[in-house]
Structures are given as C-alpha cells and as structure tokens.
Structure 1
C-alpha cells in the first residue's frame, strides 16, 4: 500500500468524527387538531466535549418566539404559548394551538443554534386540520339559520333537504352567508336560508364544506313546521299535536250542549 492510500485511510475517520460532532435536532412536522396541545423540541448535542451554547432560539416566520443567550433565557412567555430551557434543549409549547400559530410550509418554524463549535439551524412545520368546533341551527320566521363556530381555514355553506344530498333549489329559496374573523384567527360563519315557497315538515341539512380539503366538516339538521315562504300563500298555523287539540274542542262543545239542555228542562 503506497503513502497516498495510507493518507486517504487516515482522513476518512477524521471527517466522520467531524460530521458526528455537533448535532441539532428538532421535532418533525406536526399535523394537529384545532385547540390541541402541541410542543416543539429543539436539542443541541455534541460528541465532543466542551460544548458551550451562545444562542439557541425558536423563530416563527423570522420573528423570535423565545431564545437563550449569554444574557440568560429570553422566553417571551404569553398566555397562548410558553418556552422552557434545560441542558441544551429548548421547548416551545402551545397549550391550545390557534390558526395564527400555524406554519404549514417547511420553513415556518426555525430553531437557530450558535455555539463555540458550530453554527446550525433546522426547520419544522405545524399544520392545523380543518375544523369547526361547534354548530347551531335555529328556525326563524323567514327560514332556517345555522352558525358554525371556530372554523378554520374557511368554508362554504351548503343547504340540503333532509340528509339525502338533495340540493335546496335556488329558484325556491335564497341564502345569505356572513363571515366574521375572531380572536386567534378563527372564523364564525352564519348562513340564513330564506324560503320562497311554503313548506312544512321538511328537514333541512346545513353543512359546511372546507375550502381547503373539499370535505364536509360539520352539519346540523333543522326541521320546518309550517313555514310561510316569502311571496307564497299564507298558511294556517300548524301544531305538532293537532289530533289532541281537535279532540279537546269537540269535548268542550258537547259539554256546553249538555248544560244548555239541562237548563232548558229545568226552566
């Protein structure tokens, strides 16, 4: 074996040791439900002794969230997140993850490290699933109305008759949808369906379709009870217990007839 070959063999383990020296690891990309508890970890380790960390920090879209440097921990703890540092590990915790804290692209959350050995950085991502925390449905004089709360990222309201995927025809109705941005980046979406014809006993299905995934993420059923359509013929009030009410009327009439007959005989 010549001198050149021996020299190359000697260099290989040197480069291997260097590559294995300082390591910076972060949590893999996370997909979480809205309002869930999420923790991101950033850890610096070294196979070489004497590691001294000058700076380690979490950044969201290039804005510092929390970091530790020669001055000590600068944690920027708030009600919607907090940070903890111990032995080269900096954790960023979201007790209830909100939309504005999401970072879908791979370079959204960055952990930076500066030490006496090397300078390194790594990225990770935090993605929120489609969500609608709650939905309510009510019946108004104009028609059914539904409201979806804590919606993310956005959605489109679809109205059906019953739950059998039969569209409410635009020619027979019209609906108005309003959206409001709430604290934290959630949406409140309300939809009002105005009926143009008289209906009774119809079950309406109000469903929210996610603008991102194209899936229906929430729905509610609303039953109509003798609704008068705008521009339609007036309809007499209907009762859920019509048969019982009719029987009460007949009984009262017979009672009055008997009383009158008895009074006539006495007189």
Structure 2
C-alpha cells in the first residue's frame, strides 16, 4: 500500500513538473511573439507620382511604447541612404524630417524617372530591427512638341519623354509614318528621352500632324500641327541649302545688262 502511494505521488509530481515546463514554454513563446509585434513600421506600399512633382515618403513607427532609436534611415534601392537619423542626432531639413520615436519623412523634390523604384525604411532600436518598403512609380512625362522645315523635309520632336516613345505622322488624316525616319532616342541624366522623327519628301502646301505615342502604355500624349511651306519657297530654300543653281546675286548683273540693252 505504501509503495502504491509513493508511486502515485511520484507520478503526480512528474505530471506537475511537465505541466509547469509546458506553461514556461508557452509563456516564453508568447513573450517572443509579443516582442515580434511590439513594434512595426508603416509606409505606403505603392505611390504613383506625376512627373516633376514633389512627394513625401512617410515611415511611421507603430509601437506600444516609444522605442529608443539607435539608427533609422530611408534608402533608395540603387543609391546610398538618403538620410540616417537617431534619437541624439535627428535630421530636420530639406532632405528628411524626424519626429523622435514616431516618424521619419523623406522629402523628394521634382520626381524624375531616375528616382523611380524601391525605397526602404529601416530602424534599429531597443525593440529590434525592422524594415518596410515603398515603391514609387512615375506617370508618363512629356513636354510640348516642336517642328521645323528644311527643304522637302519636316522634323518633329518631343523633349522630356518617359517612358520612351515614338512619333507617328499623319497627312490630312492619312497615316504616313512609314515615310518617316525615327532618330535614335537620347536619354538625359534624369532618365528622360528626347524623341524626334523626320518626314522626307513632304508635299508642298500639305497639312501635317505628328503625334507622340508611348508603346508600353498604348497612349498618345501630344500632337503638333504644321503646314508645309509653298513649292516656290521649297525650291528656293533647297537651292540655297544645297549651293546648287544660280542665286539672285549672281543673276543681277545679267539682268541689268539686258535691261540697259533694251532701253537703248
């Protein structure tokens, strides 16, 4: 009987010990999960921005208690950190604005294609390391188109284009793009393209339109209307440009001579 009681007591103590160990493990797990959710960073995941517009990227610290920030930064995916702050050396100016334990704002001025992509907000604090990413996507860009005439050729161009585009030509409603030659697009340091095209053998006195078309979006962004110079002007301009034929200055002595003979 005594042996049975002893065994029963031992089993009870073992069960109690196991239960206590389980409780400890559950508590530890709960504490770990609480620590994981104790703080997080909140950002806007996707921002579609008009060309050359200013925008602020907000990185908000969400926490039950204010953290001690050792380092906090905004970083572009292809560049060095745009700003780095902490609780003892906050940055407050044209680049970034930091509110202690609350928020880091990155100020982007006149957004261009070169500034597109991922921006990551990172924080190192007494509550751990966290990060969150915002993506900036730029809307289409273009500036007012222009045109010029040289002999029988018309040239149309659009500066500051994004994404890269092409130029379509129309003559009184008829598509004549196949008669034109696109120049190689040049991209500037801001990531913008300069797009141009030349239409050869334009009909004198004809009405022409060139339009900027963006293949990647399937949209037409702008157009330029033009009227071809008259045939006499084309002939004269071509003669001067090529250096061929006889200019008026060369013909003048002969004309004067003929007039003087007729007056005799």
Q: Which has the higher strand share?
A: 1
Q: Which has the higher helix share?
A: 2
Q: Take 2:180 and 2:35, find their aligned partners in 1: how far apart are those partners? A: 69
**Residue 98 (structure 1) shift:** 1.2
The normalised TM-score by structure 2 is 0.69
Alpha-carbon distance change, 227 to 159 in structure 1, aligned in 2, over 3 angstroms: farther
Retained in 2: the 8 A contact 1:137–1:146? Answer: yes
- Residue 52 of structure 2 aligns to a residue in which SS? coil
RMSD: 3.1
**Residue 174 (structure 1) shift:** 3.6
Alpha-carbon distance change, 53 to 227 in structure 1, aligned in 2, over 3 angstroms: farther
Pick the structure with greater CA Rg.
2
Verify: 1:222 aligned to 2:226, yes or no: yes
Verify: 1:194 aligned to 2:211, yes or no: no
Retained in 2: the 8 A contact 1:131–1:151? Answer: yes
Verify: 1:28 aligned to 2:36, yes or no: no
* Gap regions ≥5 residues in structure 1: 236-267
**Residue 169 (structure 1) shift:** 6.1
The normalised TM-score by structure 1 is 0.69
**Residue 190 (structure 1) shift:** 2.1
- Once the two structures are superposed, the pairs formed by residues 23-62 of structure 1 within 5 Å of their partners are 23-48=40-65, 51-61=67-77
* Gap regions ≥5 residues in structure 2: 1-18, 237-264
- Once the two structures are superposed, the pairs formed by residues 118-197 of structure 1 within 5 Å of their partners are 118-162=128-172, 164=173, 166-168=174-176, 170=178, 173-195=179-201
**Residue 115 (structure 1) shift:** 0.5
- Once the two structures are superposed, the pairs formed by residues 62-101 of structure 1 within 5 Å of their partners are 63-69=80-86, 72-73=89-90, 82-87=95-100, 88-101=102-115
